[in-house]
Amino acid sequence: MNAYKAEAILTEDGKLILTGLPFRAGRTVEVIVLEHETRNPIDVAIEDDREYLMGASALMIEWDSEADELAYGGL
């Protein structure tokens, strides 16, 4: 069985039209539909910043007191 991946955006509820498929008329195909998770760009940026800060904080060995965390932890 050959597989072909295509993406499409639904223009009506419950209706999907796929065009440009590399199959000939009369062929039987199996269709599996997976929904893409849509992520807000702001959420992505915040998550990326958080990962960067966690990595950077591991390098900051002088940041080792509770007082430092209280003073600068929200940055």
Q: How far does Cα 47 stand from its chain's mean position? A: 11
Tell me: the pLDDT tens digits for 23-68?
Answer: 899 999 998 988 887 777 777 777 778 788 777 777 766 666 778 7
In the chain, the number of structural domains is 1
When mean pLDDT is compared across 1-15, 18-32, 57-71, the lowest value belongs to 57-71
* pLDDT tier, 7 (very low <50, low <70, confident <90, very high otherwise): confident
| 59 domain-assigned | yes
Over its C-alpha atoms, the chain yields an Rg (Å, rounded) of 24
- For residue 59, the enclosing domain spans 41-72
Residue 74 has pLDDT above 70, yes or no: yes
| 52 domain-assigned | yes
Contact yes or no for 16/33 (Cβ under 8 A): yes
Residue 63 has a pLDDT of: 61
